[in-house]
Structure 1
């Protein structure tokens, strides 16, 4: 692979509570990764106002752990804009959510929903 596709982080699962749901992938993996990314981001991303009134967006911890894959904070904001989770002019601080390592097995994605 010559380029990194950060969407893979929304498809991998280590059986922790914070992981995306498990899904089977087919030859149409590009569309399926797009769906997995959209579903996981919609389920997890949070917006709030931080200290001093500045907007803060909290994203899954994998966006911090693998920030190079996403292109840093600017790349994370770009990804959120692509999925309609940030407005074109919004430049919030990017923070990560806590990762829940509690074991959770058996959460499978069915069709288009989690």
Structure 2
């Protein structure tokens, strides 16, 4: 019995690793170093994306998974299904143009995981944000838009989740097209306004920015928020 359990566990591990590798390869081949996505080229490899989505539909996250493994799984699922809904409606200028029965892209129930159907909003807000006190989730999940933190050209794993999200947060905060930071004045992405509570549970917003910013911001600096660019992060 123990041998059967070990065999099943090994089979699941190999399948999980293989499918995550498929998604990793897709991102590496179709997303550049600044997060720009070649959706037209990606459409030609959509069968590989569908293979990964099929794996997600057959896989139920387990309670004994580590936090890093669980977050990596759900962030990958969010990003894979975001890409899928873009491809299903491509070409388009913005994810905001996607509508179905009066619902926007984030509220359409189409993301299948473990035999259940979710919306993108449910994955982000009811699973990731609700269950994990981790503001770096906001640079993990990607809204396929110009002002969104760049989409990484890699899949998240249990081993790389912390280091990759740390790197993405540092890139995001120091990207002058998304945040404009000086010692006495910071103009931040709307993400820091919309989800301020996620970034200020342990300290102030400026304290959080200073953890990653190349420029040291004064505690009394003026804070404002930039207009959000919803144009598609690709051609």
TM-score normalized by the length of structure 2: 0.38
Indicate yes or no: 2:158 matched with 1:37: no
Counterpart residue number, 1:80: 209
Aligned to 1:61: 190
- Using the TM superposition, give the Cα deviation of residue 67 of structure 1 relative to its aligned residue in structure 2, in angstroms: 0.6
Which residue number in structure 1 is paired with residue 225 of structure 2? Answer: 96
More helix per residue: 2
Any idea what the Cα deviations from partners look like across 1:23-79, whole Å, max 9, x if unmatched?
Answer: 221222011110010011111321369xxxxx320111100000111118x622011
SS of 1:57's partner is: strand
- 1:80/1:86 contact within 8 Å kept: no
C-alpha distance in structure 2 between counterparts of 1:48 and 1:31, whole Å: 26
Structure 1 outlier segments of 4+, above 3 Å:
none
| Aligned Cα root-mean-square deviation (Å) | 2.5
Q: Which has the larger radius of gyration?
A: 2
2:33 corresponds to: none
Instruction: Name the structure 2 match of 1:52.
Output: none
- 1-structure distance, mates of 2:150, 2:213: 21
Size of the alignment, in residue pairs?
100
Aligned residue for 1:18?
147
**Which residues of structure 1 form unaligned runs of 5+?**
50-54, 107-114
Segments of 5+ residues of structure 2 without an aligned counterpart are 1-129
Q: What's the offset of the Cα at 1:94?
A: 1.6
